Amino acid sequence: MVLASAPAKVILFGEHAVVYGEPAIAVAINLRTTVAIAKGKNFTVNGRPIEDKFHRYIKNSIDLLWRGDPLEIMTYSAVPSSSGMGSSASITVATVSALLHLNNALSEENVAKKSFEVEYITQGSASPTDTSTVTHGSGVLVSRKMNENFLWKIEKNGVKWYLHHLNIPSLKLVIGFSGIKGNTAMMVAKVRRFYRWNSFARDVIKEIGKITLSAVDALNNEDYETIGDLMNRNNRLLTILGVSHPKLRAMIQNASKYSYGVKITGAGGGGSIVALTDEQEEVAKAIEDAGGVAYIVEISRKGFIVEG
């Protein structure tokens, strides 16, 4: 039997702007998905026959990487689905790393690239932000050019992404899940329309990119007040782009009283917020008072882990 796990993630800076070539920063967090794989008589997931409807990421991982005997797969996840915390990336990276281990082809770069392929096949389009962050752990800077601490390059349909390691301090974060499943494709399309027809929207996207680059220095210097201020500025710009929601705004307003900074994380329109704070319990209560579900988390230094 092979046991593999992978963390969740949150985007700290740059969502939506990364679609237009601006940088983004994502971090792995200490909620994990675990996958156990053993040889079996039939392909099953948690005792049920594997089905595309329920097990798309696992099935596509097997189709891409496995040519051997049937596999029995068991899963457990602490990552809520459709929450903006990368549940699909987490299950994909855990599955892919286990299969690559069985194939004697396990490496961090291979896991990142194959996991991106699985997400791309499953979703019809994808960026490598989530899968590379979940693979590597700690923090990742995504950009369209190579910088210091380069990890790997991923290319698809003429688009190139350069992934870099970021030194992330011990951030104390609280995630607030609205309970509303965000529609990433819809939000991306909404921003695209705004971007195409309004020069102000293009200026907003560029400003998000500048904020993201400023955040690299603030993270390196462990300057929590500046990190928080940049998060707040990033959130105001995301609101201008039209990806907020009344429930997100209520959670942000409540959590801001106890936080350095609070912002939407992910596509928006639902999903989650992320708060940087020294008072995690107070922020969690404030989020719950606004009707959200709070997750007290910290940075995961480990990406995928494989045993067996």
CB–CB of 140/151 below 8 Å? Answer: yes
> What is the Cα 259 distance to its own chain's centre?
21
Q: Strand, coil or helix: what is 31? A: strand
> Which residue out of 69, 130, 217, 278 is catalytically annotated?
130
Token digits of residue 253: 């307003």
- Is 63 considered catalytic here? no
Non-local (6+) Cβ contacts of 249 within 8 A are 239
Name the one residue in this structure whose structure tokens are 């601490």.
149
> What is the Cα 170 distance to its own chain's centre?
18
Q: Please work out, in degrees rounded to the nearest 5, the angle formed at the alpha carbon of residue 294 by the alpha carbons of 74 and 268.
A: 90
Q: How far apart are CA 159 and CA 302, in angstroms?
A: 28
Positions marked active-site? 130
